[in-house]
Structure formats: structure tokens, C-alpha cells
Chain A
């Protein structure tokens, strides 16, 4: 260990020399690893975003109950009390025409100007029912038997769709990570083996001088780490640019999708990329060294 620490500067210099010997191969490897990692993390971020959307929608699980326009306030009040008494209902509130209009304005954000072209408020009043998501089916069944209710609207369909999408993205994410792992290991170990072949005379001399395996291997281990960490940095850069672009695109026409905070998601994803790069670099180098030694 003492030898490794005292020679760290030498190892870095050796790693630089080894990289320079096969400069073009090493640059192409960094690019390949960077792109592979970027595609993997893009899938992970898709899963992340859809998962966040499911969580937000689950927290906001609600049913909107539309009633006949000819019933009076007392009847609405009576209906609300009946609904509140149902098992699984947490909160019941009335959203009048004006409130419905304001809520749509908030949802549309910058696009809300389209509402100004309407002559009168087109929205109907409704009863907003906050529920426990698990009880949604039974609540809907019982609501159907209450007199005066014209339409029941729930977000179950959207929730199921996003949940399915999230599950698919999660599976793709796992497949991608496995594929990325295997590809990176192959690329790094191949480069390490090439480096060992190119430096075989020096390695043989070191063996004859009695250098321990750790001393001989360390520059190659650093080379592998430089390749994957370089690829990781490239993937992080591409990810930052992509996130900015995607968020700016989604914030416009798709304001209904609840997106996680871009900064914190970016930070977390970059940490994942760099961690994966380091692990794949280390494993790829060890794999390459082992395979070169067994030859």
C-alpha cells in the first residue's frame, strides 16, 4: 500500500503514457462509454419522471362528481353529506363555476389566454371528493346509487397508464443498466488488454526486476478508470443539456404532467452516472488485467 501511495504520481504519468500510445482508441472508447451511459441514464430519468407523476397523482387521488343543474343548494348539501359518509372518503368540497374556471386557468398557465375567447364561463360546478386510492372502486360503485349524480370522473385511467409506463421504463432501465455494464466491461477490458500488449516489453522488464503484480497493474487500473470517468463526464454533460431541453419543451404544451425538480434530479442522475462509471471502470480494468494475465 505504501508503495502504491508513494508512486501515485508515477502511476498517473504511466497511465497518461499508456493512453497516449493508443490515443485514438482511447478517445473512441470514452465517446462510446459516454453515449452508452447517456442512453442508460436517459431511460432511468424517464422512469424517474413517470414514477414521480404516479406519486403526485396518487397523492391527489380524487373523484369529481357532476350533478344535475336543476337541483338546489340544499340538495347539493345533502348529497355532499351522503358522499362524506361513504367509507374511504376523506374530504368533500364544492367547486363552483368560478372556482372551476380559475383552476383551469392555473392548470393552463401561459396557455390560459385561450379561455378569454369564450363568451361565458363554460365550466359546470362539481363536488370534489378526496379519497383513499385503495377504495376508489367501491366508492364509485356506491356513488352510482346516489340520486341526482349525472357523471363521475376519476383519474384512475390516467394513473394506470402512467403506472404501466413507469413499470415498462423501469424494466427497460434494468435491461439498459445490465447492457451498459456488460458493454463497458467489454470495452474497458479490451482496451486494457491492448495496452498490456503494447507495453509487454516494459511489463516483462518489470517482472524480471521483481516488481509486484500490483505495481505493474496499477497504471492500467487508472487507465480504465480514466476511460469510464471520462465517459461518465460526457454522459453527464449530455444529460444536463437534454434535461434543460426536455423540461423547456414539456413545460409548454404538457403543463399537466407533474415534473420533479430539474436541479435535484440532475444532481442525483449525475451522481448515479459517476458511481456507475467508477464501478464499471474498476471491474473492467480488473477483468482485462485478469484475462491478460491468464494468457
Chain B
């Protein structure tokens, strides 16, 4: 699913974001990446999305090498990924359901089926009553849940969620984590970055990876 061997990422301003990352993530795995701000969590997800390229080492996501000159293949790869961005990246001037549907309009799904799936996805994140609200009128936490619904409506093979519970209260955060965990049944791999280490104590399963200063520390399994 994801194979990283000696991956380094240096930004052009000289910042070393990731150092010698070796990582192997299996299909259907649930992985939590924790670490302080600036530790390299988001950089790692950006690499997995093909938004950045390793400056050293080898990285393969869903069989696609993440290297320069493969823009078309990487665009194709992204269709199999459900991203949840830290800044949500919702389209303004559109309703919640329009944003959710936008995530899968170009995939091979009929309009009717897409609309049904979007309603179900919004219901799963507890926003069925706000599906026709403009995203500008939603709270920060609600926008985050719309972004999560947009990621899951695509039925992706891989979900990459950057701080998906950052703006949610404890109950909603746990619900979202449970929602992600339930995707295991569909063999979806989920990689989540989070500050909220206290949440991990309430989770039933998954692998915990800690990252600090761009270096990965395998912390073990959540039981």
C-alpha cells in the first residue's frame, strides 16, 4: 500500500522536514501519526498525496512511485485517495452536499448514486440536517466534517486525514475516529495525523507512529 525507504524531504529554504523515513503500511491498516507542531506530520501526508517529492529515498503509494515527471499518473493516483486537508479546502459559495459531491463527480459514479452516497456520507458525520447549508454558514467543526464526508464519499482505497479532529469536541472527535475505523470493513487504509494523543486511549485498534524532528518512531499498536 505505502512503501517508504530512506525517504528524506528538504524544502528549498533549507528546512529538513523528514529524515530517513522507513515505513511500510499494509492495506486496510489504521495508522495514527502523532507529534508536535512542525514535526513533519503534514509533510509526510503531502508526500503520500504527491504534493511533494522525496529529495532522497524511494516512496511508492498504491503502486505509484512518487517521483517528478509523473504528474498524470499521480493525478490518477489521487482519485484512489480520500484526502482530508487541515484547511478543509472546501469550495465557497456551494452547499455542503455540493462540496461532498464535487469530490467524486469525475469518478465513474452516476449522478443519482453520487447524490445518495453524499447524503449517506453527510449523515455519517452528523450533518444530514445541514446538507443544503452554504459552507460559509457552517462552523469550523462542521466544515471539517464536510471535508471528511467528501473524503469518504469517494470510497477511496486510502484515506489521508490531516488533523481531522482538530476542531471537534471530544464526542464528535471520537465519532469521527470510529467512522474511520469502520472503513476497515471495506479494506480502506486510513492514515491520520493528530495532536490529540489523548484520543488514542479511547480507540480500539490501529498502529501508532510518533514523529519528531522529521524522524519516525514506531510506538506500537493501540489495543
Question: Among the listed A209, A212, A215, which residue makes an inter-chain contact with B103, where contact means beta carbons less than 8 Å apart?
Answer: A209
Q: Beyond A6-B110, A201-B89, A202-B91, is A207–B75 a contact (Cβ under 8 Å)?
A: yes
Task: Name the residue in A3, A10, A210 with the highest tally of chain B Cβ atoms < 10 Å from its Cβ.
Answer: A210
Give me the interface of A with B, judged by CB distance under 8 Å: 2-3, 6-7, 10, 17, 201-202, 204-212, 215
Can you pick out 20 interface pairs between chain A and chain B where the beta carbons lie within 8 Å of each other?
A: A3-B106, A6-B111, A7-B106, A17-B93, A201-B89, A201-B91, A201-B92, A202-B91, A204-B89, A207-B75, A208-B51, A208-B83, A208-B89, A209-B78, A209-B83, A210-B76, A210-B77, A210-B79, A210-B81, A210-B106
Residues of B within 8 Å of A2, CB to CB, are 108
Residues of B within 8 Å of A212, CB to CB, are 75, 106
For the complex of A and B, the 8 pairs showing the least CB-CB separation, nearest first, are A210-B78, A210-B79, A205-B89, A215-B106, A211-B106, A202-B91, A210-B75, A3-B106
Judged by a CB distance under 8 angstroms, whether B105 is at the interface is: yes
Nearest B residue to A205, CB-CB:
B89
Smallest CB separation, A206 vs chain B (Å): 8
Interface size on B, residues (CB 8 A): 24
Residues of B within 8 Å of A3, CB to CB, are 105-106, 108
**A134–B93 alpha-carbon span in the complex (Å):** 71
Nearest B residue to A11, CB-CB:
B105
Task: Name the residue in B80, B91, B92 with the highest tally of chain A Cβ atoms < 10 Å from its Cβ.
Answer: B91
The main secondary structure of chain A at its interface with chain B is: helix
Task: Name the residue in B83, B103, B106 with the highest tally of chain A Cβ atoms < 10 Å from its Cβ.
Answer: B106
Judged by a CB distance under 8 angstroms, whether B61 is at the interface is: no
Nearest A residue to B99, CB-CB:
A205
Asked if residues A205 and B77 are in contact (CB atoms below 8 Å), the reply is: no
Residues of B within 8 Å of A215, CB to CB, are 105-106
**A210–B105 alpha-carbon span in the complex (Å):** 11
**A17–B90 alpha-carbon span in the complex (Å):** 16
Interface residues of B in 3-59 (CB under 8 A from A): 49, 51
Nearest B residue to A10, CB-CB:
B105
Residues of A within 8 Å of B80, CB to CB, are 210
Nearest B residue to A21, CB-CB:
B93
Residues of B within 8 Å of A204, CB to CB, are 89
Nearest A residue to B78, CB-CB:
A210
Nearest A residue to B109, CB-CB:
A6
List 13 other contacts, CB 8 Å, given A3-B106, A201-B92, A209-B103: A2-B108, A6-B110, A6-B111, A7-B106, A201-B91, A205-B89, A205-B90, A206-B102, A208-B78, A210-B75, A210-B77, A210-B78, A210-B79
Smallest CB separation, A209 vs chain B (Å): 6
Residues of B within 8 Å of A211, CB to CB, are 105-106
**A212–B91 alpha-carbon span in the complex (Å):** 17
**A103–B154 alpha-carbon span in the complex (Å):** 82
Asked if residues B105 and A208 are in contact (CB atoms below 8 Å), the reply is: no
Residues of A within 8 Å of B89, CB to CB, are 201, 204-205, 208
Asked if residues B49 and A208 are in contact (CB atoms below 8 Å), the reply is: yes
**A211–B79 alpha-carbon span in the complex (Å):** 7
Smallest CB separation, A13 vs chain B (Å): 9
Residues of A within 8 Å of B105, CB to CB, are 3, 7, 10, 211, 215
Residues of A within 8 Å of B77, CB to CB, are 210
Smallest CB separation, B182 vs chain A (Å): 22
Task: Name the residue in B49, B51, B75 with the highest tally of chain A Cβ atoms < 10 Å from its Cβ.
Answer: B75
**A211–B77 alpha-carbon span in the complex (Å):** 11
**A212–B76 alpha-carbon span in the complex (Å):** 8
